[in-house]
Structure 1
Amino acid sequence: MNDEWDEIGYVISSNYRTEVLGCLANGPATPSRIADETDISIAHVSRALQELRERSVVELLVPEDRRKGRIYGITEKGDRVWAEMDAENLID
């Protein structure tokens, strides 16, 4: 659980990461769909996805070399992090 608190702290330190993770908690999505649903620029969404991927909270669900139609999903670790954030009322 200590590792998850580290991840929670990392996620909630950025509104962009929190919004992107929340969107993916509802199901897999493309960066453009996340941008549309969250009203965040595609550049910020892409950066947040990259940061969350580096922490194994989200994953790319299509081949790495695909440039269009990249679909991201939440990992099991991401699910646990999001559930704990929700349980602790850390989500606006």
Structure 2
Amino acid sequence: MDEKEIFEILGYVKISPYRTNTLKSIGNELKMPSEIANTLDIKTSQVSAALSDLKKKELVTCVNEEVRKGRLYKCTNLGKEIIKRL
């Protein structure tokens, strides 16, 4: 991925405080949406929307997609690269 693509994704993340804070909150950990929501003091629905956006850009991935409750998310290598630039 070249610099231009990185900057496009960076802008996409930075334009939304929910996406920015959700990505930063996960960092190098595995987290459930409810944990992120509690940490950031926002609604779980807002975190879920941010996670959906971040997933589409391949910044986060769900490691246990098959479960209905207790889904765990982690940052991809691209997500970690974006966090460094935030």
Normalising by the smaller structure, the TM-score range is over 0.9
Deviation at 1:13, TM superposition (A): 0.4
What residue in structure 1 maps to residue 38 of structure 2? 36
Q: Does 1:12 find its partner at 2:11? A: no
Which structure 1 residue ranges, 5 or more long, are not aligned?
Answer: 86-92
CA RMSD of aligned residues (A): 0.8
* TM-score, reference length from structure 2: 0.93
* TM-score, reference length from structure 1: 0.87
Runs of 4+ in 1 over 4 A off after TM superposition: none
Deviation at 1:72, TM superposition (A): 0.2
- Distance in structure 1 (CA, Å) of the matches to 2:42 and 2:63: 22
% identity of equivalent residues: 35
- Distance in structure 2 (CA, Å) of the matches to 1:41 and 1:9: 23
Q: Does 1:67 find its partner at 2:62? A: no
Amino acid at match of 1:70: R
- Distance in structure 2 (CA, Å) of the matches to 1:45 and 1:59: 14
Which structure 2 residue ranges, 5 or more long, are not aligned?
Answer: none
Aligned length: 84
